[in-house]
Amino acid sequence: MSILEVKDLKFKYTDNNLFNSVNFKLEKNDHIGLVGLNGVGKSTFLNLISKNLIPDSGSIVWEKNIVVGYLDQQAKLDKSQTILTYLYDVFSDLFKKEEKMEELYESLATAKESEYDRILNMAGKIGEELEESGFYSFKSKVGNIINGLGIDDSRLDDPLTNFSGGQRAKIILGKLLLEEPDVLIMDEPTNYLDVSHVEWLTKFLKGYPKAFIVVSHDLSFINDISINICALENKDIIRYKGNYEYYVKERDIRNQTYEKTYLNQQKQIKKTEEFINKNIVRASTTKRAQSRRKMLSKMEILAPITTNKKIYLKFPFSRHISDTPIEVIDLVVGYDKPILNKINFNLKRDETFVLVGKNGIGKTTIIKTILGEIPALSGEVKISSNVDFLYFSQDSEYDGNLTPFQIIKEDFYDLENKDVRAILAKVGITGDMVNKKMMELSGGEQTKVRLARLTMFKSNLLILDEPSNNLDKDAKAALCDAINNYEGVVLLVSHEKDFLNGFSHRVIDVENLINK
C-alpha cells in the first residue's frame, strides 16, 4: 500500500501552470531522486507534499500516522542556542521520561514500604520504554552524525549565531537524520558538504530502512542513492525504475516519442483552429465548427519539451588594482574565541584564488574578517586603497517577500522597467517569475537573481562564497565563463570539484595556513 498518493495535482504561480494533473505514489521503502531543470517545480512539489503549500486542485493523501521530515535549509532557528541543545531537542520527550524515572527512584527514600512495588514498577516501565526507544545509545548516534557531516565537535557548545549559513545547514540536516522519520524529504542536502561528507551521507541513505525523496544537482550523488528516478518534465512527473544513469537513457528515448506526439498534436490543433475560423460564420457549417471548438476545449494540451534558458553573466571591471591588493598578516579570526590562529596569505592581481579546507574550518569567517564584517581578534588585513569589493554571501540577505524585480530596482531605482526585465532575462528569470516572491522561487532561481544583481556593480575584487549551490549544469557553466572573463581578482569558496575544474585558479589551503 502507498504511504502517499497524489492525484490530479495542479498548481500555478500567477499565470505559470507548473503541473498538469500530476499523479504520484510513494511506497513504504521508496528511495527516490527527483530531477528536473531549474524552475520546473521540484522544490514546489516538495513543499506541496509537505503541506507547506496548498494545491490549486487535486489531492495529496498521506497514510495515517506517517511522520514526515522535511529539510528546510531556510528554517528559522533560535540562533542563541548551542549546537548540542539544538540536536538534543530531538530527544526532549525522552529526557523528560528519564527525569520522571529518576524522581520515582529518589522518592523511594521517603515512600512507605507498601508503595515500593508500585514505584519500582512505574520506574521500571519507563526504563524499558527508554531502552526500546534507543535512548541510551543516542550519544553514539549524535556522534556518528556529527562526525559524518563534518560538524566540528569542539564547538558543540557554541551558539548557532557563530556559524555560517552553510554550517547551520549541516546542523539542520544532522537533526533531521537524528529524528529518523518515516519519510525524509530533502532539497539539496549536499550543499556545503565536502566529498567525504557526501560519501558518508550516500552510505547513510542507501542503508536508510524507510522512504525518502531527494532533490540534488549533484548527479553522482543522486545516481548512487536512488532506486527510482522521478523526473519533472513537461509539467508532469514520470517515474523511471532505475538510477540516474538508467533514467538518462530512457529519457532520451521517451523524449523522442513525446516530441513526435507533441508536434502531431500541434498540427492537429492548427488544422482544427483553421477549420473553426473558416466555418464558424457559415450557416451550413456552423454546427461542425462549434463541435470542433468543443472538442478542442476538452483536449489535454501537451506542454513543449522543457529546455534550459540561456544564461549570460558578466561581472564588470571598475579600475586598475594594485599588484597585491590584499595582505593577510598573522591574522587570528573567530568570535568569542579563536577559530584560526596566525594565518598569512596574499592575493595577487589578475588571478583567481580558491579558499579550500574542510567544512567548518573557518573559510567564511576569514572572508567576513577581510570584509570587516567580523573584527579580527589579532593580526592585520592590509587592503589597497584602490580595491572595489563585490561580495556574494552564501547566506541570502534578502527578505523572502521581495520579488526579483524589486531587488534589482531597489539598487537601481532610475532604471526603466524594461531594462530591469532585461537584466533578469540574462539569467533566465523571465515572464511572471520576475514578480514572484523570492520565497516562491527555487533555490537555483534565487541564486540567479542574486548573481544578476552583482552584474550591475563594477568591481576589481570579486569574493564569491559558495556561488554554485543549487545551480544546474548550464548555469554553472555560465558562472565559470564569467569568472574566466573577469578582469579583476577573484577570491572564491566552493566545495564542488567539477565546478572548480571550469576555470584556472590558485589554491589557498586553510589547513596549510594553520600549520605555518
Residue 497's CATH number? 3.40.50.300
Residue 437 lies in a domain: no
Q: Average pLDDT, stretch 294-306?
A: 79
DSSP label at 89? G
Strand-by-strand arrangement of the 57-62 sheet: 16-26, 4-13, 57-62
Contact in structure between 509 and 361 (CB atoms under 8 Å)? no
Give the domain-ending residue among 103, 132, 165. 165
Q: Average pLDDT, stretch 489-503?
A: 88
Which residues 6+ apart lie within 8 Å of 53 measured at CB?
11, 44, 47
Classified as helix, coil or strand, 451 is helix
DSSP strands (E only) in 36-156: 57-62, 68-71
Output the nine-digit C-alpha cell for 139: 550519544
Distance CA 497, CA 123 (A): 54
pLDDT at res. 77? 74
Tens of pLDDT, residue by residue over 426-437, are 998 988 889 988
pLDDT at res. 39? 77
Residue 19 lies in a domain: no
* Nearest one of 390, 501, 507 to 455, comparing CA atoms: 390
* Bridge partners of residue 34, in order along the sequence: 215, 230
Tens of pLDDT, residue by residue over 435-456, are 988 888 888 889 999 999 999 9
Tens of pLDDT, residue by residue over 354-393, are 998 877 788 889 999 999 999 999 999 999 999 999 999 9
Distance CA 403, CA 39 (A): 15
Residue 273 lies in a domain: no
For residue 516, what pLDDT band results from cuts at 50, 70 and 90? very low
CA atoms within 13 A of residue 355's CA, in its CB half-sphere: 25
pLDDT at res. 197? 87
Distances (CA, A) of 341 to 36, 152, 321, 368: 44, 16, 28, 15
Share of the chain above pLDDT 70, in %: 97
Which residues 6+ apart lie within 8 Å of 388 measured at CB?
318, 319, 458, 459, 460, 461
Looking at the structure of the chain, the number of domains it has is 2
**478 is in which domain, residue-wise?**
326-398+448-515
Question: What mean pLDDT, rounded, does the chain reach?
Answer: 87
* Nearest one of 325, 297, 304, 287 to 460, comparing CA atoms: 325
Tens of pLDDT, residue by residue over 50-71, are 998 899 999 999 999 999 999 8
Give the domain-ending residue among 148, 165, 182. 165
Residue 335 lies in a domain: yes
CB atoms within 10 A of CB 61: 11
Give the domain-ending residue among 139, 165, 191. 165
pLDDT at res. 308? 65
Residue 122 lies in a domain: yes
Residue 253 lies in a domain: no
For residue 318, what pLDDT band results from cuts at 50, 70 and 90? very high
Residue 254 lies in a domain: no
Distance CA 502, CA 360 (A): 25
Residue 196 clears pLDDT 70, i.e. is over it: yes
DSSP strands (E only) in 63-196: 68-71, 183-187
- The pTM assigned to this predicted structure is 0.70
Residue 391 lies in a domain: yes
Q: Average pLDDT, stretch 326-340?
A: 88
Tens of pLDDT, residue by residue over 1-47, are 689 999 999 998 766 778 888 999 999 999 999 998 877 889 889 99
Tens of pLDDT, residue by residue over 390-423, are 999 987 777 888 999 999 998 888 899 999 999 9
